[in-house]
Amino acid sequence: MRRTSGGVREPCWDGQFYPGEPEALRREVLRHMSAAGPAPAGSVVGLVAPHAGYVYSGPVAGEAYAAIRGRPYERVVVLAPSHRAAFRGASIWPAGSYRTPLGEIPIDE
């Protein structure tokens, strides 16, 4: 993991799994969300989206994220495999933020 001062988790796969430039990433996400079907009626209490390069998972991720567009939520929990090392258990980024091409996302400490 790449870390900077202040507990910021740097992106590992920007420019590889997804566009590393903010506008290119925004366009790709919006393209996939725009191609999605209608959002489900009623409340959404959970969401599972794929974890893969957008070339593989973009259409399915777009469906998932379009389903919650404009809906309120309190927390996002990311569960994903490590692409760098095998280990038992879980790795948790405890404090600070995640940096993305679209800005920093604070950790709910």
Give the tens place of pLDDT for each residue, 25-51: 999 999 999 999 998 898 889 999 998
pTM, rounded to two decimals = 0.82
The whole-number pLDDT of residue 4 equals 56
Mean pLDDT of 10-15: 89
**CA dist., res. 9 & res. 12, Å (int):** 9
Q: Who's near 19: CB < 8 A, 6+ residues apart? A: 25, 27, 28, 54, 101
